[in-house]
Structure formats: structure tokens, C-alpha cells
Amino acid sequence: MWLRVAAGGPAALKVLAAAGAAAAPVRLVWAGPLERPLAPLSTPWAPALELDSGTILFSPNAICQFFFLARGEEPTDLTNQWLEWEATELQPAASAALYAQLVHGKKGLEAVEALGKLLAHIEQNLSRRGTAYLAGDTKSVADVVVWGTLFPVLQDETSLPSELQVLRTWFQSMTLSEACRKAADSVLMPKALLEFKSYLQKQPPPCLAMERATSNEPEPSPQEEEGSEPALTEEEITAAADAWGRGAAALPKPWQPQKPVLPVEGMRNILITSALPYVNNVPHLGNIIGCVLSADTFARYCRLRNWNTLYVCGTDEYGTATETKAVEEGLTPQEICNKYNAIHADIYRWFNISFDFFGRTTTPYQTMIAQDIFQRLLARGFLLQDTMEQLRCEECQRFLADRFVEGTCPFCSYKEARGDQCDKCGKLINAVELKNPQCKLCRGVPVVKPTQHLFLDLPKLQEQLEPWLEQSWATGDWTANARYITRSWIRDGLKPRCITRDLKWGTPVPLDGFRDKVFYVWFDAPIGYLSITANYTDQWERWWKNPQQVELYNFMAKDNVPFHSVIFPCSLLGADDNYTLVNHLIATEYLNYEDGKFSKSRGVGVFGDMAKDTGIPADIWRFYLLYLRPEGQDSAFSWSDLMLKNNSELLNNLGNFINRAGMFVCKFFGGTVPNMVLTPDDKRLLARVTLELRQYHQLLEKVRIRDALRCILNISRHGNQYIQVNEPWKRIKGDEKDRQRAGTVTGVAVNIASMLAVMLQPYMPAVSLAIQRQLCIPPDCFVLSHDFTCTLPPGHCVGTVSPLFQKLENDQVEALRKRFGGGQAKDTPPASETLVAPGDPQLIQELTEEVAKQGNHVRQLKANKAEKAQVDTEVAKLLELKKQLALAEGKSPEVPVPKGKRKK
């Protein structure tokens, strides 16, 4: 095979290092920088690997992976995570840093400023795992790829922050390895670097703002990162002033779709689904943010953009879980479905979720559409028959689904393991593997018997799935975790997937020999999106069989990804009926509760039916859940943080600004917006607000919902600062010039408040409506554009202005924390009461890792200038862990002495 590289190009470094590390038998071809690349869209410095078969690989990371695979090193989940992170997070920042070095001449720490958080991420992972390399104790493709991206920027090790000692050790080890050293000597030659620099000088600088917009890290606020605001150009200032002057007439007219909402020729038609919640339980806050609330926020944004939008959801009502719940509560499955469908609908109504239709899967349309897809798959040869061994209860005269069986775990001997998973050790179980199995219905002993089932032939469908996935990834917005999980399924090789179950409650299988069975919930449930739409409109096929006109967004938590990215698309591709397939798959990580998990049985955590009983308005819950939405990593609900965000971000920042702006109009100008004479400072503010508005759009178009919320808060900070600097309450008492200045500041401020009302609507619809009513904002102004315009002109009359938010008191929050704490405190006694066996090496190792991890977390909070209350909370956790470690090591834990005090 031939490897084509160009000296001086950073991408050549990693592929040459990978070839050397994997001892790949490549024939090297050095290409000149002006030679035409093999790939039409590649840069002149992009490497290419031509295999003996004639296939050409263009992606540097794919080439590196190929070399290690050829040596027999299969990628692990961890190496794949590092490669995904390197491609989406590290590479863009490293490119910006290299541009700053070579083109702008920056040096040292200044040059690598864009890499700060990313270097800290590597440091933390190496420290936490305690391994020499990123994915273990041996060098992997992840180490080579990450090193290859960093080395051109960090050749001068003085660029590495001194506190990152673990990273420094890893980086030096990689640099001194033979493969990396030879690659660096070959690629980064002075003449080649000059040519590469000359090439970079002709290119626009990497747009790090864009990269940040799609990053998993939240945008830092001006308070968190002083001096981070980009410089304004005269063109931006002039353009902002011109847009302001055009007024409300320049806004597009709000679009009001006909009912039912149907696709419209020539418009952007957006179809939004959120994963169907199981009908057998009450959703907790994590369920709500992971699916329905995230989708609702995006749907509201789409409507404000005048995109023709349909948002559907409903309860998933068939399957084992429903039968189990019915047995527990002594009801029929249909009664259970009716009960919990109403509970779900009430919860979502209270949270102000703006479904166009909220339905359910136990409908005739579900049967009709599911059976039609099944028949089409059968006719096209995409279904298989096979025999499975299952437990059958002769007393009940039925095969037992996993949840109807319990017994002794074959792995840890826990005596109450379920037929699908052991709650103690967490391992997945095949029900027939249980020791001493029992039927949960009659407590009889089931027997193993063969039963025939139908399977979806995923291996046969893979040749259709993969090109569709590549196209969807190239043109759509899939979250990084959705891409990674899907790639893992594809990489491990697709296997036939059983689509039938021996149950009574479900969609019947319309095939002789299988009519006593129903469809498995994960074949059946996603079809619920279609049947729910069909119950909304008999023209449902205009949405679901119209990929040419419709963009489909799926919202879910990460555990639902493979069913939406592999199994459901395979079903629709195999059915071959022009179905609309997902364009944008948006998956969140998990939301935890305080330091543990939500548990209805133990009374731990806030569940949807409890939130309204706390006395905290729905919009406050919406705001806080969206503020900590787990976009790139798991996050945790915290009562103290909820209080902090309510009192600081909402009450003192956003609410304070909007209330002051409106009150000044009422108090100083008789409730009428005064005349405004803009100064250069005012125009700069307009430009600054416009930049935040456009960043807000950029983020929400990428469905970065959490980060876009920061833009709203940033604008209100700018507004508060503007009012403080100009002091209209003083100027109104001065001469004519001062009074005119007070009028201008008040008029600009109340117009910012008007725009914030619109921007806030996807997040806090009730608060948005309250601002609209207080300021009497015309309905035609409730639409989003990319320009900040004067929507409340001189002479506009506002209404009665009143505070939008209330302070949360510590006593109130502590009472709620105790109320929803359940048995969590009892489950984890304090270290001083914990019986620790001194000298237990496994416990010492675990605690050492936890201390290191928490220590890094505290240092990062301090470096990011986090709120003192948050830092103090995390420091307390660190001290508690250190006490536990001391006990495990057989030492006497010393109580830390607060600074400024002495031991007595």
C-alpha cells in the first residue's frame, strides 16, 4: 500500500507516527504542497492511503486506525471515544492555536490559550485512570492521534501549563518514542513549515467561535472569562445601527400554520419527535430534560423562526413492562395505560410542553402501520425464523417474558435477580441462565422450552444502512454520543434482531404460526411516531413518506440511540416505501440527582408529578433543567445550585434588568417610551447584543440548547452594565442634555428587554408571556430574526411592570432537599461511621482515584472562577474522601484547620 503525505502538514505527523508504531508495511510518497490532492475536497496537505485493492482512505484518523487494525489491535470503546473527541473538540482548537503561532506569531501560553480546557481534560483523564496512556497501560491509536494533533503546537514544551504534570509526562513519553520522533523529524522540517505557513497565510483564520458553538463545553460568561469579548469592527457597529433604525417593519411576519400542520412546498418543514415515555411509570426530571423538554425548546425556537413545525409524542404502551405493572396494581393492561397516559399528559401540560399532538401507541393505526411495515419486510426477504429457548410456566400456560422471572444471579448469586439483569452486580442475564428461577405470577418453577421467533435480518440490511448513515452524518446534526454509539454497533457487526415476543399485550403478528405472539416493543415502539401522527391527521404520510420536503429531528437519552439509528432505520429502509428517516439525532447524557440516582421506590429525587407541589413555578424548573442539560457529559441536579441559579441568574441578572428597564419607562416617562438619540457607545452596545443574538441562533440551529441559554443571560448582563454606567435615575434630574440621555438609555434598555422576551420564549414561555404583557409588545414582533431592531419605538406605551422572579430562601430549599432525599443519606453513612477495613488494597486504590478526580474537579472550578458556594461544596466532598482514604490506609484522619485559625 502507498501512503501519500506532504511535509509540513500537521496531519502527516499522526499518520506517519501511526505507521511507525504499528510497523505498517507502507511505501511512502512525498507529495509537493501544490500537487492536486487525491480527494476533490481535501486540502493540499491532506494525507491519503491507497490500499492494494485500490481503495483510498482520506481521513487521517481512519488511516491511523487502519494501521493498528492491520496489526490485529481492535479498537476499544475508550479508544473510539478519544478519537471522536480528538476529531470534534481537539482538532479545531489545535488548528486555531497553530494558526495563532505561525500566522500571528504568538508564543508560549498565549498561543495555546484555545487549548486550555482540552489539555485539562487529558490531564484529568490520565490522573483519574492512573494509566501511562490514554486507553490503558499500553500505547494505542488514541495516543498517537492525540499526540500528533498536539505536537505541532506544543513542540516548545514551555507552552504546556506547569500544573499539568501528568499530561507533561505522557507527552514527553510519546515524543521520545521512536515512531513519533522519526515522524516529527520527517514532517516538521524548516523549509516545509515555511511552505505550510505561506499556505495558512492565504486562508481565513479558523473560526473558533463556530467550534465553540458546537462544543460540549458551555460558553463562559463575561464574568467567568474577563476580556474574552471579541473586538467590534466599524462595519459591525454601522450594520447594527442600520438594523436598529429599520424598526419592527423589517421583521418577518409571524407564520401561523393551518391546523392540522402539514408540510408546505417551499418552506422548511421540521418534524420533531421525542422518545416515547414508557406508560408504566412517572417521569423524573432526568426523563423530562432528556426527551420532551429538550424537544419542546427546539420546537418553540423553530416556530419563532417561521419554520413549519410539527412536534409529536405519546406514551409507549405495549410490552412486558405494562403487563408487569398491571399485575402489580391489580389492573388490566388497558386500565394501566389509561391511568398513566393521563398522568404523563398532566405532567407535560404543567411543564408547558407544546406538543402539536400527544398520543399513545394502543390504537388501530399502530396495528395497521406496524403490520404493513412487517409485511413489506417479509415480502422483501428481510425477516428470518429461528428457535429460542425460553422459560415457560406450565401453571400459567405461558412463556415468561424476562420481567416475569426472578431467581439467583449466575454471576454474583444475588437471590432476587431479574430475568434480564441483576440489580446487584449489574450484569445482563439471559433468563434461562438464572439459578432456581421462579414465575413472578404464581411463584411456580418454570421449565426451559424451545419457541419459534422472527428476526429482523440486520446483516442483510447493513449494506443499505451504512451509506444512509454516512449521508445523514454528513448533512445532519447528530450529537457526538449518537455517532459514537451507532459506530460501535456497526463496528461490532450487526446481528439478526428478534422482533417477536410471547406476550398477549402488544401488536399481533399477522403470520400463520406466530399469531399467538406480538411484536417486540423495540420493533413496535418507534412506529408509534407514525401512528401518533396518523391519529393527529389522516394525511400523516405527507410527513412520514416525504423525505424530499421534511427534516426529521429525534430527541432522546443516549440509551435509546441504537434503536433510532440502527434498528428503526433498517426497518424503514427494508420496507422500501419512501419513508422519512432521521436527519438529526439529538441524544443527551444522563441527569443524576445530587450525588446519586433518581429512585421512586426510595423517595429519592423529584418526579414530574411532585414538581408542582414544591411551590416553584414550572418555568424555574424549565430554566434550571435546560441550564444544566447534559449535552456532553452527565450532569447532576443540586438543590443548592438551583437556589444559586434562581437567585443570581434569574433574580439578580435577567429579572433585575427587565424590571428596571420597564420601571424606568413608567417612573420617569409616564409609561411611554421616550425619544432616543444614539451615541457611539449606544451603537457599540447594539453591535454587542447583535453578536450575542447571532451566537444564540448559531447554537440553537446546532441544537446546543444549554449553551444558547448563556447568550440570553449575557445580553441581560450587558443591559445591566449599560444601565449602571449611564445612571438614568440620576440623569433624569439633570439638565436637558442629561434628561435626553436618560431617555435614550431607557429606550434602548426596554427594547433589549423586548428582544429578550422573544429569545426567552423557547426556555421560559410563561415568563416570556409575562414580559410581553407588561411591555405591551406587539404580537407581530414575536418572531426571531438575526438583527436587533427597535420594536418599541418612541411613543409606545407599556403596561404595569412587576417583578418576574422570587428569591428562593435557604430554609425553603433545605426543606425540599430533605423531603426528596428519601433513604439516600442512610445508604451512605459518613466516613466516621463507616466500618473500613484498613489495608484493603482495592478500596485504597478506588479512594485514591476518587481523591485525585475530586481534587482535579476542585482545581478546575477555582481556575474557572466558579461561585464560592459551589467551590465550598466540592471542597467539602474532597475532604470527606480524604478522611475515608486515611481510614482505609489505617491512619488517623486529621481534621483540616480552616485558614486563619490555629489548632487549640
Amino acid identity of 165?
A: Q
**Is 793 in contact with 748 (CB distance < 8 Å)?**
no
Question: Each residue of 369-392: pLDDT tens digit?
Answer: 999 999 999 999 999 999 988 899
**Of 791, 796, 798, whose CA–CA distance to 252 is shortest?**
791
Phi, psi (deg, nearest 5) at residue 306: 65, 30
- With beta carbons less than 8 A apart as the criterion, state whether 764 and 622 touch: yes
- Which amino acid, residue 650? L
CB 470 within 8 A of CB 478: no
Q: For the chain, what percentages of helix, strand and coil (3-state, to nearest 5) are there? A: 55, 10, 35
DSSP string, 833-899: GS---TT-HHHHHHHHHHHHHHHHHHHHHHHTT--HHHHHHHHHHHHHHHHHHHHHTT--PPPPPPT
Q: What is the dihedral of CA 858, 862, 867, 871, to 10 degrees?
A: 30
Contacts of 134 (CB under 8 A, 6+ apart): 78, 79, 82, 122, 125, 126, 140, 142, 143, 146, 170
Instruction: Name which of 634, 651, 655 is nearest 642 in CA terms.
Output: 651
Regions of the chain with pLDDT less than 70: 8, 32-45, 104, 106-111, 156-159, 189-229, 426-428, 600-603, 822-847, 849, 860, 863-870, 883, 885-904
CA dist list (Å): 663 to 32, 144, 531, 656, 746 = 67, 60, 50, 10, 9
pLDDT of the residue at 61: 86
27 forms beta bridges with 2
Q: Is the dihedral of CA 50, 53, 57, 61 positive or negative?
A: negative
Give CA angle at 692 (689, 698), nearest 5°: 145
d(CA 745, CA 753): 12
- Spatial contact of 468 and 581, defined as CB atoms under 8 Å apart: yes
> Cell numbers of 593, please?
440527582
The pLDDT value recorded for residue 341 is: 95
Single-letter amino acid code for the residue at 705: I
Angle at 349 between CA 346 and CA 351, to 5 degrees: 110
Is the separation of the CB atoms in 684 and 722 below 8 Å?
Answer: no
Residues making up the chain, counted from first to last: 904
> Which residues on neighbouring strands pair with residue 385, listed in sequence order?
454
**Hey, which residues does 29 pair with through a beta bridge?**
4
| Residue 39: per-residue pLDDT | 47
Give the pairing type, strands 269-274 and 550-557.
Answer: parallel
Q: Which residues, at least 6 apart from 808, have a Cβ–Cβ distance to it below 8 Å?
A: 616, 642, 643, 646, 647
Total-model pTM: 0.69
Rounded to an integer, what distance in angstroms lies between the CA atom of residue 642 and that of residue 593? 12
Bridge partners for 386 per DSSP: 453
8 A C-beta contact, residue 444 and residue 393 = yes
Q: Which DSSP helix (H) or strand (E) runs through 760?
A: helix 736-760
Query: What's at 261, amino acid-wise?
Result: V
pLDDT for the residue 302: 98
Candidates 271, 278, 350; CA nearest to 314 is 278
Distances 786 to 305, 384, 780 between C-alpha atoms, Å: 10, 53, 16
Q: What is the identity of the amino acid at 239?
A: A
Task: Say if CB 482 and CB 585 are below 8 A apart.
Answer: yes
Residue 336: closest CA among 320, 319, 349, 323: 323
Report phi then psi at 351, rounded to 5.
Answer: -80, 0
Helix (H, G, I), strand (E, B) or coil at 431: helix
**Helices 178-187 & 165-176 angle (0-180, nearest 10):** 80
How far apart CA 779 and CA 750 sit, in angstroms, is 16
Contact 544, 390 (CB under 8 A): no
Question: Is residue 793 reached through a cis peptide bond, with omega within 30 degrees of 0 on the bond before it?
Answer: no
Rg of the Cα trace of the chain?
A: 30
Q: Smallest Cα–Cα separation from 404: which of 415, 390, 414?
A: 390
Residue corresponding to grid cell 439516600: 824
The residues, ordered by sequence, that sit 6+ positions from 247 with a Cβ below 8 Å of its Cβ are 789, 790, 791, 793
Identify which of 303, 311, 312 has the alpha carbon closest to the alpha carbon of residue 267: 303
- Residue 552: strand, helix, or coil: strand
38: left (phi over 0), alpha (psi -120 to 50) or beta: alpha
The pLDDT value given to residue 890: 56
Find all residues with CB under 8 Å of 54, minimum gap 6, and list them. none
